[in-house]
Amino acid sequence: MASSTETQPARRTQADRSAATKSRLLDATITSLVEAGYTGTTTTAVAQRAGVSRGAQLHHYGTKEKLVAAAVAHLAEQRAATVREQIAQLGDAKDTLRRTLDLLADFLSGPLYAATIELWVAARSDAALREMLIPVEAQLAKELREICREYVTSDPLLQQMTLDLLLGRGVTMLLTDWNASHRARALDAWAEMVTLRNNQGTS
């Protein structure tokens, strides 16, 4: 017989249960976007994938647009935080700028990036989706510019040019077989140019 003094597991509060349900829905939405695209992602399918009721899905995210925008924001926050953690681990490495470009390039490429691009295209003709995505994308752009400001360059123009380069690189990788060595050399050249401009600005 268990002792009455044993610590009993704490009961989950309604807020805990609600947060867990939302997390499952957001994760299931991201998986669906990657595997099935925006058109193939439905709220019913997401609820089934997340293992929650249709009513619970509607309670937390009443429309597909709200669900998708929340999922993208959720993922962007997590990935941006991961990039910052990885950069912080570089310490005072001499090649921090170059390695930061690699981390940002990874952020802006791959299946998750492809799903995001698909959302941008869909939002062009879907007013409800566009309305939901605009603040999400604005917050993400602000976060990426801040990372560039801290670890790449203090020049606002070069910050934006860096992100434009990486965004374009991500699109190119979806459509062409641009090998890894060429991609690396392109980032090497950009890092050298930015370093030169940074040094000129501090001389």
Helix (H, G, I), strand (E, B) or coil at 178: coil
H or E element: which one contains 201? helix 180-202
Calculated CA dihedral for residues 118, 120, 124, 129, nearest 10 degrees: 100
Kindly report, residue by residue over 23-40, the tens digit of the pLDDT: 999 999 999 999 998 989
d(CA 14, CA 122): 35
d(CA 111, CA 33): 9
Q: Is the pTM of this model over 0.95?
A: no
Task: Name the packing angle between helices 127-151 and 96-107 (round to 10°).
Answer: 170
d(CA 19, CA 145): 30
Q: Which letter does DSSP use for residue 1 in this model? A: -
Residues 6+ apart with CB under 8 A from 87: 96, 99, 100, 103, 147, 151
Per-residue pLDDT for 5 more than 70?
Answer: no
Mean pLDDT of the chain: 88
d(CA 33, CA 8): 40
Contact between 177 and 117 under an 8 Å Cβ cutoff? The reply is no
Per-residue pLDDT for 100 more than 90?
Answer: yes
Give the pLDDT band of residue 6 (cuts 50, 70, 90).
low
Locate 123 and state its tokens. Answer: 């939002």
